[in-house]
């Protein structure tokens, strides 16, 4: 994953001057010993504002881009919270549990100090990450740090992200409407371009000497089974290099890039192929390329890539599972109702590493019907990566700015079932507990578009914390039957 941040965390202990400073220092050292990954231990213990400035300069000099602020005792309210103001990166605030000494000279009262820390952060309108239970032993705080790292990675990534688009959005796909106000509120930059800009750049890469190398890599990835159109590889390789070079030349002051590209109806005829397989390859490297100029889809994918450090995809919440297929392949074998299941689909943008072994480059059936002569062999509608998505735990989620400019999100954990779809495209049978109610009272009720991002694993806990840190107040999830939605009819 070459397009996500590398987090270097620093540990700063704070101490209220009426408590022994050695208590905080001893407890800080214990955390350092308990945490098995890279963690910079700042030697400056913060008791006052000058200490705070020294500590922040120290961790910056050490290359830290995320901080753990540790209340080894009650802590100094003003200096400890000002760390979050003067340090340009996410800060987690945690506190020491008692039990490593006597309760007279060895009591730290950090349980109490965390309340004042939170109060002061709020008064100063500073954002700090506070875990669900932020008081713990050295080993417990080490576990909190392990959870904080992917959260910090996503927050740093978003704050340093540029989304590059090639549009405009297809007609009748207003579902991909993207008010950019929400992007600026998150700290994301955007560059919007025309398809013509992309086409000109693509043509300029026609004789690129790197094309053959990319073709070889594509052939190796696809194998004999998947490489149905070897003559198409040079065109797709040329496009891949076009996008990568554009990202490098246009990221500007930003460190990370995601794309939101128009992929139909004009694209395939103008470029000579469908872009889906190339999009899948970039997604596998942490560079999402969302379909249909779905800007918030690209942002959602990127957040998932940062959290999981793995490939992600963007799918339509597409079609219901036929009752006959459910009865034959799912009922009695898995603990799901028919309404818990649906098929997630897109033309062919899911990375090959997340698909069954018989996946292959094929042609886009719907586009072939629309754009090429009836009865003809597929030509420029080739280029999709198709097959069933491999069974896996998944998290289906999205961050969206609605038509009123309000940021909101949803998260639902589930799985891709080991059930053959018998359909076309990149597609899988998804199962999410209480999906039917979630579909009606979150996705429909709150006017979400049909695209959802997919992370391959259960990352709901971490995504929830990322969205909270980013200031998202409406974070919906698939509520159990025992917890009705506000819009759910209690008499139904």
d(CA 196, CA 201): 9
b/e 72-85 (16+ beta carbons within 10 angstroms → b) = bbbbbbebbbbbbe
- Non-local CB neighbours of 250 within 8 Å, separated by 6+ positions: 162, 164, 191, 257
Q: Which helix (H) or strand (E) holds 94?
A: strand 91-96
Tell me what pLDDT residue 295 has: 94
CB 91 within 8 A of CB 69: yes
What global pTM score does this model have?
Answer: 0.96
Going residue by residue through the chain, which has 492 residues, state the pLDDT in tens, using 9 for 90 and above: 789 999 999 999 999 999 999 999 999 999 999 999 999 999 999 999 999 999 999 999 999 999 999 999 999 999 999 999 999 999 999 999 999 989 998 999 999 999 999 999 999 999 999 999 999 999 999 999 999 999 999 999 999 999 999 987 777 666 666 789 999 999 999 999 999 999 999 999 999 999 999 999 999 999 999 999 999 999 999 999 999 999 999 999 999 999 999 988 899 999 999 999 999 999 999 999 999 999 999 999 999 999 999 999 999 999 999 999 999 999 999 999 999 999 999 999 999 999 999 999 999 999 999 899 999 999 999 999 999 999 999 999 999 998 888 999 999 999 999 999 999 999 999 999 999 999 999 999 999 999 999 999 999 999 999 999 999 999 999 999 999 999 999 898
- Are 247 and 257 contacting, i.e. CB atoms less than 8 angstroms apart? yes
Model pLDDT for residues 166-214, shown as the tens digit of each residue? 987 777 666 666 789 999 999 999 999 999 999 999 999 999 999 999 9
Nearest Cα to 287, choosing from 249, 315, 247, 252?
247
**207 DSSP assignment:** T
DSSP assignment string, 69-89: EEESSS--HHHHHHHHHHSSS
DSSP secondary-structure letter at 229?
-
CATH 3.40.50.10940 fits 9-156, yes or no: yes
What integer pLDDT is reported at residue 403 of this predicted model?
Answer: 82
201 vs 182, 194, 239, 281, 384, CA distance in Å? Answer: 29, 11, 9, 19, 22
- Name the pairing type of β-strands 66-71 and 9-14: parallel
In the block, residue with structure tokens 């008692």: 98
SS3 of 65, please?
coil
User: DSSP letters of 2-53?
Assistant: TTSPPP-EEEEEE--TTS-HHHHHHHHHHHHHH--S--EE-SPPBSSHHHHH
Going from the C-alpha of 480 to that of each of 88, 237, 433, 454, 458, the distances in angstroms are 39, 46, 8, 21, 17
pLDDT at position 243 is: 98
Burial (Cβ within 10 Å: 0-12, 13-18, ≥19) of residue 339? middle
pLDDT tens digits, 315-364: 999 999 999 999 999 999 999 999 999 999 999 999 999 999 999 999 99
Give the total residue count for the chain: 492
Question: Rounded to an integer, what distance in angstroms lies between the CA atom of residue 216 and that of residue 228?
Answer: 14
- Per domain, the residue ranges of the chain are 9-156, 160-477
Tokens 């190398």 found at:
213
Query: What tokens does 480 get?
Result: 């159990």
């Amino acid at each position: 994953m070459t397009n996500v941040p590398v987090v270097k965390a620093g540990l700063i202990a704070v101490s209220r001057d009426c408590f022994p400073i050695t208590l905080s220092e001893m407890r800080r050292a214990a955390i350092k010993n308990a945490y098995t990954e890279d963690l910079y231990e700042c030697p400056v213990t913060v008791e006052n504002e000058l200490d705070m400035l020294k500590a922040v300069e120290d961790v910056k000099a050490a290359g830290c881009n995320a901080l753990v602020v540790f209340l080894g005792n009650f802590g100094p309210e003003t200096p400890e919270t000002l760390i979050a103001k003067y340090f340009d990166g996410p800060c987690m605030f945690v506190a020491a549990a008692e039990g490593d000494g006597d309760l007279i000279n060895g009591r730290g009262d950090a349980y109490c100090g965390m309340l004042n820390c939170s109060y002061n952060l709020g008064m100063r309108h500073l954002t700090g990450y506070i875990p669900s239970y932020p008081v713990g032993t050295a080993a417990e705080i080490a576990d909190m740090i392990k959870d904080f790292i992917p959260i910090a990675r996503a927050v740093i990534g978003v704050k340093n992200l540029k989304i590059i688009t090639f549009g405009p959005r297809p007609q009748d796909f207003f579902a991909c409407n993207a008010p950019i106000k929400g992007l600026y509120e998150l700290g994301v930059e955007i560059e919007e371009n025309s398809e013509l800009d992309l086409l000109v750049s693509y043509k300029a890469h026609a004789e690129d000497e790197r094309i053959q190398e990319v073709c070889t890599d594509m052939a190796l990835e696809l194998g004999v089974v998947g490489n149905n159109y070897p003559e198409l590889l040079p065109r797709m390789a040329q496009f891949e290099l076009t996008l990568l070079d554009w990202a490098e030349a246009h990221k500007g002051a930003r460190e990370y890039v995601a794309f939101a590209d128009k992929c139909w109806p004009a694209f395939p005829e103008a470029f000579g192929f469908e872009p889906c397989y190339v999009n899948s390859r970039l997604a596998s490297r942490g560079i999402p390329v969302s379909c249909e100029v779905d800007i918030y889809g690209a942002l959602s994918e990127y957040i998932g890539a940062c959290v999981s450090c793995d490939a992600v995809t963007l799918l339509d919440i597409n079609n219901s599972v036929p009752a006959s297929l459910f009865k034959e392949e799912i009922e009695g074998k898995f603990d799901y109702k028919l309404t818990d299941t649906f098929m997630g689909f897109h033309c062919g943008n899911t990375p090959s590493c997340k698909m069954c072994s018989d996946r292959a480059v094929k042609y886009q059936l719907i586009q072939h019907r629309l754009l090429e002569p009836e009865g003809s062999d597929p030509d420029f509608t080739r280029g999709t990566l198709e097959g069933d998505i491999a069974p896996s735990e998944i998290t289906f989620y999205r961050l969206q700015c609605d038509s009123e400019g309000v940021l909101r999100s949803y998260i639902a954990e589930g799985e891709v079932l080991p059930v053959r779809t018998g359909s076309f495209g990149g597609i899988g049978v998804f199962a999410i507990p209480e999906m039917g109610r979630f579909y009606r009272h979150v996705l429909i009720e709150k006017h979400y578009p049909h695209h959802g991002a997919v992370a391959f694993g259960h990352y709901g806990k971490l995504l929830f914390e990322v969205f909270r840190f980013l200031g998202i107040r409406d974070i919906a999830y698939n509520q159990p039957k025992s917890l009705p939605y506000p819009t759910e009819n209690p008499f139904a």
